[in-house]
Amino acid sequence: MLTKEDFEKIRKTYNYTYIAVGAQRFKKMNIEGEEAVGVCNPFDFLKRIKQQELYNIGSHVIIVGGGNTAMDVARAAYRLIPEHGKVTVIYRRTIAEMPAEEEEIKALLSEGIEIMELTAPLAVLSHNGRVTGLKCIKMRLGSPDSSGRPKPEPIEGSVFELKADLIVPALGQEVVLDFLPDNALKKDPTSIETDLTNVFIGGDALHNASTFVQAVGDGRKVAEHIFLKENIHFSFEPEKEDRNLTYSDYLVKKARRIKGEVLNEIPDNERKTFKVVIEPLTKEQAVNEASRCLLCDDVCSVCTTVCPNRANYTYFTEPKSIPIFKITNNGNNIVTHTIGTLDIKQKYQVLNIGDFCNECGNCTTFCPTNGKPYKDKPKFYLTPESFQHAEKGFMLSKEDQTLWYIEKGNKSSLQKNNDLFFFNNELIKATLDAHTYEFKFIEFKTASIAEFNSTIIAEMIALIDAGKNLY
């Protein structure tokens, strides 16, 4: 177990610390009698099955919970009980509210395992310290709780008992960070850096019980942030093959519906063993499945097809990396220091037209990466009037190809002339090389301005370089 002293020693020994301890403690039912022999946490149960340490678990097994872990435990228990036995999953809401994946629930039901909806545990029944049953109460759904799901409420006079030889509470996990100085951390959602110097946090430790994919993504973000702090240039992006496809080719590929391979599942009546339920794909099937890829890493643009107002628009640009500088004003000495890069990785990008968008959120609903295109994408306005009243956004002047940006009433402009960019706003005036993006000239408007972050300049360069493809 990691102590506070151990944690401090790690911090002093290494330049950076990453907390990714996982959600290692299982939630308890917090009911009378749950310390009885025969109440087992799900990971211990599954671990002992894998190590072939569990054989006789009795005839009646109850799983409490409605997540994927509960489904895994129930299906594993089904394979161990005798023919006359029974596995029951109890859940305090209905199947419709269960957090488990739909395919997991369907697989469980197809094997004949019962899900007892609207049922909550009240007490573990035992004899001589060993589980004999579970006292339960029926529930009904009330008004939504903080999660947005209907809150289950007990029905008076509906208490009943279930026979049980084994009870497995699968109610989720909790993160334990008792090795931290104050057992609490403030977290920056953009950099996942904590309020402790050079200490980062990710995975379950940041999000509570989440997914492996989320944890891997957080690890990558932390690595990128540390590399940035150390001025180490490193790219996680692999070399991509040139697919030699036009934009029309991508759209045709997305429009064609090709059904997936039929999975090789063993019949339900053969699932009383630990034989693999879904057989691996053959080489030919795997190749066919891979060929169905829609190549969204090149072109997504789903949000442009689902917008009822045609407010989202795909434009073409060229991949590039634009440096971001911190510009410091030390009297007569102006210093630029690279603090990062704005990387344009895809040729096909999306913007949002503010004049057309009513923020219905349809693009958010269909976004495959959980984005919010109407908020995340550059928002453009088509007329000086709409631009002037915008809280935040861009406008491209077709007459002189000047790109304008407004935020809280403050305007910035960027114009390209031959080999130079000219930037101007209420804080600074600057000239940049149009090829290297290095500053050729910088003038602070007032002596009171100590520093300026050039992120907005990088964003405007990326957009103005797209040129006529914006409209």
3-class secondary structure for 397-463? Answer: ECCCCEEEEEECCEEEEEEEECCEEEEEECCEEEEEECCCCCEEEEEECCCCCCEEECHHHHHHHHH
Report the pLDDT value the prediction gives residue 239, as an integer from 0 to 100: 67
pLDDT-derived band at 323, boundaries 50, 70, 90:
very high
Residue labelled with tokens 């349809």 = 362
- Residue 98: what residue type? M
Looking at the predicted structure, is the pLDDT value of residue 387 above 70?
A: yes
Q: Report whether 10 contacts 19 (CB < 8 A).
A: no
Looking at the predicted structure, is the pLDDT value of residue 209 above 80?
A: no
Tokens representing 70?
């509960």
Q: What would the mean pLDDT of 73-99 be, rounded to a whole number?
A: 94
Q: What would the mean pLDDT of 287-300 be, rounded to a whole number?
A: 91
Q: Residue 95 half-sphere exposure, CB side, CA atoms within 13 Å? A: 12
Question: 215-219, 225-229, 321-325, 420-424: lowest mean pLDDT where?
Answer: 225-229
pLDDT-derived band at 459, boundaries 50, 70, 90:
very high
Query: Quick one: what percent of the chain has pLDDT higher than 70?
Result: 96
Looking at the predicted structure, is the pLDDT value of residue 468 above 80?
A: no
Report the pLDDT value the prediction gives residue 208, as an integer from 0 to 100: 79
**Segments of the chain assigned to CATH 3.50.50.60:** 4-23+175-229, 25-173
**In sequence order, what E strands does 72-186 have?**
86-90, 114-116, 119-127, 130-144, 150-163, 166-169, 173-174
Q: What would the mean pLDDT of 260-267 be, rounded to a whole number?
A: 88
Give me the sign of the Cα torsion angle 319, 321, 327, 332: negative
CATH 3.50.50.60 fits 25-173, yes or no: yes
Report the pLDDT value the prediction gives residue 471, as an integer from 0 to 100: 61
Residues 6 or more apart whose CB falls under 8 angstroms from that of 315 comprise 348, 349, 350, 351, 466, 469, 470
- 425 dihedral zone (left: phi>0; alpha: psi -120 to 50; beta): beta
Report the pLDDT value the prediction gives residue 447, as an integer from 0 to 100: 82
How many other CB atoms sit within 10 Å of the CB of residue 173? Answer: 20
- 46 dihedral zone (left: phi>0; alpha: psi -120 to 50; beta): alpha
- Residue 172: what residue type? G
Q: Report whether 303 contacts 375 (CB < 8 A).
A: no
Q: What would the mean pLDDT of 332-343 be, rounded to a whole number?
A: 87
| DSSP 8-class letter at 241 | P
pLDDT-derived band at 426, boundaries 50, 70, 90:
very high
Spatial distance between the Cα atoms of 307 and 374, rounded to a whole number of angstroms: 10
Give me the sign of the Cα torsion angle 123, 127, 129, 131: negative
- Mean pLDDT for the chain overall: 90
Q: Report whether 394 contacts 383 (CB < 8 A).
A: no
Looking at the predicted structure, is the pLDDT value of residue 81 above 70?
A: yes
Q: What would the mean pLDDT of 320-327 be, rounded to a whole number?
A: 93
Looking at the predicted structure, is the pLDDT value of residue 189 above 70?
A: no
Say which residue, 185 or 329, is predicted with more confidence: 329
Report the pLDDT value the prediction gives residue 74, as an integer from 0 to 100: 97
Spatial distance between the Cα atoms of 337 and 430, rounded to a whole number of angstroms: 15
Q: What would the mean pLDDT of 436-450 be, rounded to a whole number?
A: 91
Looking at the predicted structure, is the pLDDT value of residue 369 above 90?
A: no
Q: Report whether 80 contacts 57 (CB < 8 A).
A: yes
CATH 3.50.50.60 fits 4-23+175-229, yes or no: yes
pLDDT-derived band at 370, boundaries 50, 70, 90:
confident
Give 99-103's long-range contacts (Cβ < 8 A, gap of 24+). 99/66, 99/67, 99/68, 100/66, 100/67, 100/68, 100/70, 100/71, 101/68, 101/71
